């Protein structure tokens, strides 16, 4: 099981603006300290996390953050509407569009997705596979 995912950032305040436009709406809480940003889902005391935490930090080695070719982090949203809203919010918060919200022919008919790059260039997907919503074939 994946415990956490970390992306590098050179400008933590810019990264915070971008990720705060997405993650709190998906239930993530932010903790900020000298090491960077930590986003986690609320967890009742004594229970084990189900989803990974998400960290945004300057690289530990002191070198500039850079993106990985082919790397992407995907966050699940509860509905297609939320995917569209968060995509718009993230663009306004400094992200760049890598794929408008919608269905993709290559994926399942219920997989509704939008793609972005954060201000550092890390690729982010927002998706919903809610079976109670319209599908690509409807």
* pLDDT tens, per residue, the chain with 138 residues: 688 999 999 999 999 999 999 999 999 999 999 999 999 998 888 888 778 999 999 999 999 999 988 899 999 999 999 999 999 999 999 999 999 999 999 999 999 999 999 999 999 999 999 999 999 998
The CATH architecture annotation of domain 4-128 reads: Roll (3.10)
Domain ranges for the chain, please list them.
4-128
- The residue assigned the tokens 């794929």 is 99
- Record the tokens describing residue 97, joined without a space: 């569009």
In whole angstroms, what separates CA 27 from the centre of its chain? 12
**pTM: predicted TM-score of the whole model, two decimal places:** 0.91
Q: What is the 3-state secondary structure (H, E, C) of 34-72?
A: CCEEEEECCCCCCCCCCCCEEEEECCCCCCCCCCCCCCC
């Amino acid at each position: 099981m994946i415990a956490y995912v970390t992306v590098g950032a050179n400008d933590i305040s810019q990264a915070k603006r971008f990720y705060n436009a997405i993650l709190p709406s998906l239930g993530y809480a932010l903790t900020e300290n000298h090491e960077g940003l930590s986003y986690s889902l609320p967890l009742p005391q004594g229970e084990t996390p189900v989803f990974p935490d998400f960290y945004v930090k300057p690289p530990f080695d002191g070198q500039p953050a850079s993106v990985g070719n082919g790397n992407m982090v995907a966050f699940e949203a509860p509905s297609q509407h939320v995917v569209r809203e968060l995509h718009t919010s993230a663009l306004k918060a400094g992200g760049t569009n890598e794929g408008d919200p919608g269905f993709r022919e290559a994926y399942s008919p219920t997989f509704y997705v939008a793609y972005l790059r954060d201000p550092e260039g890390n690729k982010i997907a927002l998706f919903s596979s809610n079976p109670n919503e319209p599908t690509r074939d409807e």
